[in-house]
Amino acid sequence: MQSTALALMACENKLILDGKFKEFNGTYHHQVPIYDVILFCDLGLEPRWVYEQVNFIKEACEWAEIPFYVLESDLHGDYTKLFGNARVVSVPFWSVGEDGKKGKMMRNCTLDYKINIMQKFVRMELLGYKKGQRIKEEDLKAHEMHLGFSAEERHRCKDNPHKMFVNKYPLCDMKLERKHNYAYIKEVWGLETKASACCFCPFHRNYFFKYIKENHKEEYDKTVEFDEMLEREQPNTKIRSKLYISRSRKRIADLTEEECNDKECFDYKGESVWNGF
């Protein structure tokens, strides 16, 4: 939702400058630049609405003449092939140790399967660097990466340790929360949006799994299959905890109706809107 808003604000700025947005009474967003490129990392198993939003952004970028790329970053495929047999990136699954102690795995998936993938694409495909090539002095901290974090996610805003890149968070700078981004996209572009996250993301509320079970059976079945893999296999010889996607630390297929009554919403003009988590 937030990244969609950021991308569409950049498109709106470009269309205003090109004189193509007058019929929509466009507003120029001064803290959002017209991007050289907009990127989306496809992690392999996201809710159907995410791909619908991606296609919407793609069409808006084509209209605004802003380059848009979908980068294949198959976290789902890598996990299903490697989990239990080889090293996989740490996803913040909920855990229960052999002693019954509850915990949570580290979160490295965003860094490894989004941030690093985008930086590698910019470095090698756009700037023409070869593998292992020394960074030129003129590229040191010379490239901005704008990330779609909203004001309530300010705690996630970090400096970029890469020598080339500087992280920027325009939505935070504009003090825009998720609800504000939803309103902007709906009222200006006519698109209703939900959050973007893998179907097997442990930050989902249990309601998410109920929703996709009732509305997107293919995605639900793949998520349950993934969850059963976590039950069947172990990440490595050092970590012997049981891992769970659900914050209830139960298998998704075993969640009760009551446990799925945790829908997370925000207010939009007096209407309660589910955020997609």
Question: Is residue 211 within 8 Å of residue 224, measured between CB atoms?
Answer: no
pLDDT at 125: 96
Query: Crossing angle, helix 217-232 and helix 206-215, to 10 degrees?
Result: 130
Q: Would you tell me how many other CB atoms lie within 10 Å of the CB of residue 202?
A: 19
Question: Is residue 105 within 8 Å of residue 115, measured between CB atoms?
Answer: no
pLDDT at 28: 87
Number of domains in the chain: 1
* Structural domain for 68, as ranges: 2-274
Question: Is residue 15 within 8 Å of residue 27, measured between CB atoms?
Answer: no
Q: CA gyration radius for the chain? A: 20
Residues of the chain under the 50 pLDDT cut = none
**For residue 168, which amino acid is it?**
K
Q: What is the pTM of this model?
A: 0.92
What whole-number distance in Å separates Cα of residue 140 and Cα of residue 204?
Answer: 37
Question: Is residue 179 within 8 Å of residue 150, measured between CB atoms?
Answer: no
pLDDT at 241: 86
pLDDT at 199: 97
pLDDT at 50: 96
What whole-number distance in Å separates Cα of residue 1 and Cα of residue 150?
Answer: 10
Listed in order, strand segments (DSSP E) in the chain are: 38-42, 68-72, 94-96, 102-104, 143-146, 165-168, 242-244, 265-268, 271-274
pLDDT at 18: 87
